[in-house]
Structure 1
Amino acid sequence: MNNEQRLLLLEKAKQFFRDEIVESHITRACAKAGKLSNYNVNPFLFKYLANFLKGNDDPRSIAEALVLPRVLGSSINTSFGMRIQKLISELFEGFGSTTPGIDIEFIDAIDGSKKYCQLKSGPNTINHDDVETIFGHFQGTINLGRTNNLNIGINDMIVGVIYGEEIELSSHYKRINERYPVIIGKSFWHRLTGKDDFYFELIDAVGDVALEVDGTKVLEETIDALSIEIEAKFS
């Protein structure tokens, strides 16, 4: 990958983040977070959490205690996770796969072999049942390769984790790694691009987009809307 290609990928990543993550976060996540019906409120905890956060349990403090974890945590992480495959597809045209259970296929920039990859967002984003599903998809791909006279080895089947470090991988990923390689963060992006520090350049590029965003107004409006519902229901 030359310097022109590198800059193009980084610009594509920035535009993707603006269009797919920021826009969804502001228009959809905040809209949902402003409605009480979208919460499974624990009546034993919501006043405690409000007091813990703000020192009182008035409706607006309760609203803040509910909205902040949703808007600043779970909603945007879910949004990012759901868009992983689209991110890679937009950055690397032609990497998409038609093989069942495989998200992308690419030539590994380190060892030169073709990889069949399932994409995951972070080091704690799969559960126990996902492990068996991945094993089934990978074995099915190997079997399909044999049928079509393709030499697909165990090390050609990988799980690519978009961000994080190997030490952070959950026990479910470690179980997969006993049979198939799990490549995470810096190493995964190195294999995709051939550039050792592309992962950090990508993080910096997305950080540039963050500087363009000031969500204080929409966050305040979301908290205000929810506090009105809370006051009407619990006061």
Structure 2
Amino acid sequence: MNQAEKDIILEKAQKWFKNSIAKNHITNTEKLKNASEFDINPFLAVYLSNFLTGKAKPEGIAKALVYPRALGTSITTSFGTNIQRFTNDVLSSFGSTTSGIDIEFIDQINKNKIYCQLKSGPNTINKDDVETIAGHFTKVINLGRTNNLRITHNDMVVGIIYGDRASLNGHYKRIINDYHYPIYIGQDFWHRLTGDENFYTDLIHAIGEVAAEADYNEELEEVISELANTPDVRKLSK
């Protein structure tokens, strides 16, 4: 892969993050003006308000409710659920027509043809997903035999776009230990895909340029203020 091709991926990644992640994040944050968006635990809400601000006033309670959602759960979920759009928008040149496979590429380290299921992060699958992934991979290997194509376990890979091997959850480790399929994660994945050992860092910096534009401070304060003035929050204050 040459520099021009790498630059195209970086540019597409920036557009994907801005259009799929940042926009959805703002939309989901706006919804937090309504108390109905929360399953409010009155004991924890008051405690967390005191923990965060030193008092249990409506604004503190609202902050204790909004911050975890706006800065954690909401955008993390959005990032994970948009992985298919990432595949289509950013890695379309590697797209696969094989059922159960997201992308196909030549591993730039060992030069093998790779059939890859793409995942967003190191904690994004559960127990049932392991069997599903293994089932897809087995079908591809069997299809290869039927068509006289030599496809081995080492050619069937789970690619994870961020993280490192130490952060893999137990379900991913089962794919490696029980089913003997490789996992490429973070820097290793992007190195094998592009041939550039530093591409992962370049990708993080490219996304960071979009993040630098994400000044939503005033709007976030407005969300907190409106939530603080809802009856469900005000009745918890003292």
Say whether the fold is shared (TM-score over 0.5): yes
Question: How far is the alpha carbon of 1:3 from its aligned partner?
Answer: 2.2
Deviations 1:26-65 (A, max 9, x none): 1x21122222212122233111111111111111111100
Instruction: Give the letter aligned to residue 45 of structure 1.
Output: L
Q: Is the 8 A contact 1:30 1:218 kept in 2?
A: no
Q: Which runs of 4+ in 1 moved over 6 A?
A: none
**Distance in structure 2 (CA, Å) of the matches to 1:139 and 1:188:** 22
Question: How far is the alpha carbon of 1:77 from its aligned partner?
Answer: 0.9
What SS class does the counterpart of residue 56 from structure 2 fall into?
A: coil
**Distance in structure 1 (CA, Å) of the matches to 2:141 and 2:50:** 56
Question: How far is the alpha carbon of 1:149 from its aligned partner?
Answer: 2.4
Instruction: Give the letter aligned to residue 222 of structure 2.
Output: E
Question: How far is the alpha carbon of 1:193 from its aligned partner?
Answer: 0.9
Name the counterpart of 1:225.
226
Question: How far is the alpha carbon of 1:233 from its aligned partner?
Answer: 5.6
Instruction: Give the letter aligned to residue 139 of structure 1.
Output: T
Q: Which runs of structure 2 are paired with 1:1-235 in the superposition (5 Å)?
A: 1-26=1-26, 28-178=27-177, 179-229=180-230, 230-231=232-233, 234=236
Instruction: Give the letter aligned to residue 163 of structure 1.
Output: Y
Identity %: 55
Instruction: Give the letter aligned to residue 51 of structure 1.
Output: N
Q: What TM-score do you get using the length of structure 2 for normalisation?
A: 0.92
Q: What TM-score do you get using the length of structure 1 for normalisation?
A: 0.93
Question: How far is the alpha carbon of 1:130 from its aligned partner?
Answer: 1.5
CA-based RMSD of the aligned residues comes to 1.6
What SS class does the counterpart of residue 111 from structure 1 fall into?
A: coil
Instruction: Give the letter aligned to residue 8 of structure 1.
Output: I
Question: How far is the alpha carbon of 1:234 from its aligned partner?
Answer: 4.5
What SS class does the counterpart of residue 204 from structure 1 fall into?
A: helix
Q: Is the 8 A contact 2:16 2:86 kept in 1?
A: yes
Count of matched residue positions in the alignment of Structure 1 and Structure 2:
234
**Distance in structure 1 (CA, Å) of the matches to 2:214 and 2:195:** 31
